[in-house]
């Protein structure tokens, strides 16, 4: 039986919950399971009745033949074109971020999982630092291009669309004529794969327009916390970080942190925990 403990830590001013997964279950195994489940759930749109108006909390193309929800970036572009306020999208992302921060990127995003699979072939960890603001610049660029072109311009190059929509489209729609942007998608995907083979989670680190949801890491209910009294300063946690974090204080707090839990698994002294933030009176 899995040694799973759920306990409440009480103090004079706060209460917080901590998950201790024990020695029998590493977070990596649990994360891989949730990524598979998230991919299955993301593709439940077998017919029109199952294609909902919900917003995915991660980077996934609504052009996928079996997609059951909408891509947040594609939907935002539509609202920019229509010059309408995207209340559903903003409300959904705000709700996701307030509870989970950027954890969906580490635990559920199909394109993130795809990059994790590719990282198996990454022979040497890249020392390239993260550029926090590059994702914000990408987000603004996507919206600007939608406004200028009056088209979902980014979707024509999106690597997630390449993998989950462009590639399976000929299988699901044999009569579909492949236009020039199909080959643009293939080129985009090849370049992204090449980059990920040199830098772990390259897309998540530098270019993902959904990444700005990471600003909620500062206030989200779920976080990765560091117990300074247990920390030895060995920095094994930073060595295994797929996002290239280089400071202990960034873990669970920086918008670059995807709360994947690799740092938790790497810590020999149990100084790191994925937990609910404490609620101060």
Q: In the chain, what are the domain boundaries?
A: 27-214+229-268
Write down the pLDDT at residue 278.
72
Write down the pLDDT at residue 280.
57
Write down the pLDDT at residue 121.
87
Beta bridge partners of 143: none
Write down the pLDDT at residue 177.
86
Give the distance from CA 142 to its chain's centroid. 18
Give strand ranges (E) for 178-239. Answer: 222-226
From CA 254, how far away is CA 262, in angstroms rounded?
16
Rg, Å, the chain Cα set: 20
Write down the pLDDT at residue 5.
37
SS3 225: strand
Write down the pLDDT at residue 129.
76
Return all residues near 9 (Cβ < 8 A) that are at least 6 apart. 15, 16, 17, 18
Which of 91, 74, 57 has the alpha carbon at shortest distance from 146? 74
Q: Which helix (H) or strand (E) holds 49?
A: none
In terms of Cβ atoms closer than 10 Å to its own Cβ (0-12, 13-18, 19+), residue 44 is: middle
Cβ 99 vs Cβ 85: under 8 Å: no
Write down the pLDDT at residue 277.
83
Residue pLDDT tens, the chain, 281 long: 444 333 333 333 333 444 443 433 578 899 999 999 999 999 999 888 888 889 999 999 988 999 999 999 999 999 999 999 999 999 999 999 999 999 999 999 999 999 999 998 886 666 777 788 999 999 999 999 999 999 999 999 999 999 999 999 999 999 888 889 899 999 999 999 999 999 999 999 999 999 999 999 999 999 999 999 999 999 999 999 999 999 999 999 999 999 999 999 999 999 999 999 875 55
Write down the pLDDT at residue 10.
33
């Amino acid at each position: 039986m899995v040694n799973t403990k759920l306990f409440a830590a009480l103090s004079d001013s706060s209460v917080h919950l901590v998950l201790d997964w024990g020695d029998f279950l590493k977070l990596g195994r649990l994360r891989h399971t949730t990524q598979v489940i998230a991919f299955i759930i993301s593709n439940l749109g077998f017919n029109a009745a199952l294609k909902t108006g919900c917003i995915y909390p991660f980077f996934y193309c609504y052009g996928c033949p079996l997609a059951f929800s909408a891509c947040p970036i594609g939907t935002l572009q539509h609202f920019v074109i229509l010059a309408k306020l995207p209340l559903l999208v903003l409300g959904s992302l705000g709700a996701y971020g307030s509870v989970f921060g950027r954890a969906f990127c580490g635990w559920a995003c199909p394109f993130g999982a795809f990059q994790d699979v590719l990282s198996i072939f990454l022979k040497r960890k890249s020392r390239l630092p993260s550029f926090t603001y590059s994702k914000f610049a990408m987000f603004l660029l996507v919206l600007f291009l939608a406004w200028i072109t009056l088209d979902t311009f980014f979707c024509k190059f999106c690597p997630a669309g390449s993998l989950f929509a462009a590639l399976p489209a000929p299988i699901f729609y044999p009569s579909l004529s492949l236009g020039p942007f199909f080959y643009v998608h293939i080129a985009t995907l090849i370049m992204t794969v090449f980059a990920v083979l040199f830098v772990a989670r390259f897309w998540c680190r530098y270019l993902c327009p959904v990444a700005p949801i990471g600003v909620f890491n500062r206030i989200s209910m779920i976080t990765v916390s560091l117990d300074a009294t247990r920390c030895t300063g060995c920095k094994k946690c930073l060595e295994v970080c797929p996002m290239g974090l280089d400071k202990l204080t960034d873990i669970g707090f920086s918008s670059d942190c995807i709360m994947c839990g690799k740092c938790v698994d790497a810590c020999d002294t149990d100084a790191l925990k994925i937990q609910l933030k404490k609620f101060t009176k």
